[in-house]
Structure 1
Amino acid sequence: MIMNGELWTSLGSTAAAIMFAWAMIQQYFPSTLRESLTKYGHRFVTYFYPYIQITFHEYTADRWSRSMVYSTIEAYLTSNSSMRAKRLKADAGKNTRNLVLSLDDHEEVTDEFQGVKFWWSSDKTVSKTTFFSFYPSSDEKRFYKLTFHKQHRDLVTASYLNHVMEQGKAVGVKNRQRKLYTNNSKSAWTHVVFEHPATFQTLAMEPEKKKDIMDDLISFSKSKDYYKKIGKAWKRGYLLYGPPGTGKSSMIAAIANLLDYDIYDLELTSVKDNTELRKLLIETSSKSIIVIEDIDCSLDLTGQRKKNKEEEKENKEGEGVPAAIKEEAEKGKDKESKVTLSGLLNFIDGLWSACGAEKLIVFTTNYVEKLDPALIRRGRMDKHIEMSYCNYEGFKVLAMNYLDLDSHPLFETIRGLLKDTQITPADVAENLMPKSFGENAKEDCLEAMIRALQLAKEEASRLKAEEASAESTRKEEISKSTKEAQEKESLTEA
């Protein structure tokens, strides 16, 4: 016992001496000398250390995109993390009911491949400035570290890493949970779980039109080799246009559910400039839908520029304005988004659009005529889909969705009214929503639908009569003005 105590005392003294010596070196030795000592010390240790380490960082290229290798390794390690690791972190699985477990920070697990043992560890580095932060810092840099004996180098490079990538991709697909992303004021993506129930079966649309859209989407998802053959990025643009309430957002959700894609809802007004727009594009994943809703309202993207005379007029009007007011106005302009039409076009089909693969870009608008033709031409928005008012086929879909009815004596009355009335699927759905669940609930909903159609028909007739009256009045005024002008001209000649 005494000898053991002396041994520990000796080891403690030695460690203290080494720490003191290193502190002196850090304090008084030049930086170049310290670097040389570190370099040769590392070589000396590795000469006797029989293990090799490979590091896989979460982010590369100045954090512009999350490493796919890191994500794949993360998925691979979930297969044995729950059985061997002591500290784990949990996330929701594909159906949000099951939890997916992965390694927590600074945890290690072992793995075996062809009888060889490997060690995986999850670590992170944090910059000194983040220790006083109340929130998790973006300066945290996570990485996985693989450790193995140097005699197995060839096995790792030839087989093991390929095995990890293949298995990781399979696990990732199995556990993948679709997400709905949005960008914030710092031009970074945040997400929630995507659980929208809309499908093509529940969309109020003609069956032929739905089939055409579905065939186009499925064909796109299977066309990787074709796009490579023709030399185009594997992406496709969709333009959804029509009046409000015609189901444009539901169409996007149905597309995501059909193809099992993530959705990136891009808010252009939160993007500082074209550089930030490119950064957001790079950070989107494959198998995703990039959505810009109400593109006509997001920014002034008509492509028109102010004339020089108008700019001169603005400059003259600004003369004599106090400097403080001018400064505040300039600050307000600086906060506005500087995304340009050119930047958005490059985002859609320029060089930067080739980042990632298997992507859909979807624009929605209520007023397609307001958009610059360059923005929606074929090749950028490859397929134009008009989301129109509800017809009888669409009504039948909604009646089945809301009332579980595929036929009813009142259907014929509704069919006749729909031929002469414009009503959106959203209004139809509101009328078909049961207000109670009594015996006559379904008939009450259909009768409410008929009343709504009759009111819409009467309103349309009233507006049509007012327009006809206004047109007639306008023609009378033109005729009267023409007659007065002719009479005046006759008097002048006389």
Structure 2
Amino acid sequence: MMTMMIGDKWAQLGSVVGSIMFAWAMFNQYFPQQLRDFILKYGHKFVGFLSPNIHITFHEFSGEYFKRSEAYAAIQTYLSDKSSMNAKNLKAEVVKDSSQSVILSMAENEEVTDEFEGVKLLWASMKYTPRTQSFSWYPEAADGKRYYKLTFHKSKREFVTRTYIRHVLQEGKEITVRNRQRKLYTNNPSQNWHGYQARKWSHVAFEHPSTFDTLAMESDKKEEIKNDLTKFSQGKEYYKKIGKAWKRGYLLYGPPGTGKSSMIAAMAIS
């Protein structure tokens, strides 16, 4: 008896799905394009009026794909850990300028939840494929427009727009800075500045074991330098406000073997 009831329910569900698909096919085939757009537009507004949720989208590229969005990249980095722990469908990317060889992120049409200060929010990774093909400088954007969609209850609008989004972008940028690979740059000879694949600068990976923890130095002086570096690194807006270049210089002197290179390495890593 139970098996027959389940079978009847599946048959009814299949019939309903088939009817919906048939109606949708008739709608696309026989309704004029302008009428379809009108119905879809105001139908979407009607559903949005009834829904208690608000959606914010962050597109991967802006300006017709000519510039990758910094906000999208920061969100992708921010969601990386949550995606690897919670999402079922992931995609892996190899990032050359990162100390992590592989970064995991959500695949398209995947969702993860986030909680910040007691508020639960839903992130979805989406991709829109346009009906007509368009030229793009970015090969990864040729197959569709990717974007993140943030969904939250309308009662949290002010909290999300003023606090949460700022937190996500700042945290994503800080994670990127912590994970990126440090490099040493040198100027190439002038004869290499022109022609195919010309480069004025070349670089090598910066790898040095020295840190402030391993540096042999007076504790008070070490803390003074560390505090000065921290203050400088957080003062970009202050330098901009007073009209000065955001840079800092230190003069190191002494005979070979006194720790000048180790000090430079420790300052670069801190």
TM bracket, shorter-chain basis: 0.5 to 0.7
Pairing 1:115–2:124 present: no
Does the Cα contact within 8 Å between 2:122 and 2:150 map onto a contact in 1? yes
- What are the equivalent positions in structure 2 for 1:24-423 lying under 5 Å apart? 24-86=26-88, 87-92=90-95, 96=99, 99-127=102-130, 138-139=141-142, 140-177=144-181, 195-196=204-205, 225-226=238-239, 229-230=242-243
Does the Cα contact within 8 Å between 1:81 and 1:102 map onto a contact in 2? yes
Does the Cα contact within 8 Å between 1:121 and 1:145 map onto a contact in 2? yes
Task: Give the counterpart letter for 1:115 in structure 2.
Answer: G
Q: Secondary structure at the match of 1:195?
A: strand
Shift, 1:123, TM fit: 2.1
**What TM-score does the superposition give when structure 2 sets the normalisation length?**
0.61
Does the Cα contact within 8 Å between 2:100 and 2:179 map onto a contact in 1? no
Does the Cα contact within 8 Å between 2:123 and 2:151 map onto a contact in 1? yes
**What TM-score does the superposition give when structure 1 sets the normalisation length?**
0.35
> Whose Rg is larger?
1
Instruction: Tell me the equivalent position of 2:6.
Output: 4
Shift, 1:56, TM fit: 0.3
**Which whole-Å CA distance do the structure 2 matches of 1:157 and 1:20 have between them?**
41
**Which whole-Å CA distance do the structure 2 matches of 1:164 and 1:82 have between them?**
17
Cα 1:152–1:197 shift into 2, 3 Å: closer
Does the Cα contact within 8 Å between 1:93 and 1:99 map onto a contact in 2? no
Task: Give the counterpart letter for 2:168 in structure 1.
Answer: V
**Which whole-Å CA distance do the structure 2 matches of 1:198 and 1:113 have between them?**
36
Task: Give the counterpart letter for 2:178 in structure 1.
Answer: K
Which of the pair is proportionally richer in helix?
Answer: 1
Question: Structure 1: which 5+ runs fail to align?
Answer: 181-192, 200-218, 237-257, 261-494
**Which whole-Å CA distance do the structure 2 matches of 1:48 and 1:73 have between them?**
28
Shift, 1:59, TM fit: 0.7
How big is each residue's C-alpha offset from its partner over 1:454-477, in whole Å with a ceiling of 9 and x where there is no partner? Answer: xxxxxxxxxxxxxxxxxxxxxxxx
Cα 1:228–1:150 shift into 2, 3 Å: closer
Does the Cα contact within 8 Å between 1:81 and 1:88 map onto a contact in 2? no
Cα 1:195–1:141 shift into 2, 3 Å: farther
Shift, 1:227, TM fit: 5.6
Cα 1:51–1:60 shift into 2, 3 Å: same
Does the Cα contact within 8 Å between 1:81 and 1:103 map onto a contact in 2? yes
Task: Give the counterpart letter for 2:36 in structure 1.
Answer: R
Which of the pair is proportionally richer in strand?
Answer: 2
**Which whole-Å CA distance do the structure 2 matches of 1:90 and 1:142 have between them?**
15
Does the Cα contact within 8 Å between 1:58 and 1:141 map onto a contact in 2? yes
Q: Secondary structure at the match of 1:147?
A: strand
- How many residues were matched structurally? 204
**In angstroms, what is the RMSD of aligned CA positions?**
3.9
Does the Cα contact within 8 Å between 2:115 and 2:121 map onto a contact in 1? yes
**Which whole-Å CA distance do the structure 1 matches of 2:96 and 2:148 have between them?**
22
Task: Give the counterpart letter for 1:122 in structure 2.
Answer: S
Q: Secondary structure at the match of 1:62?
A: coil
Does the Cα contact within 8 Å between 1:82 and 1:88 map onto a contact in 2? no
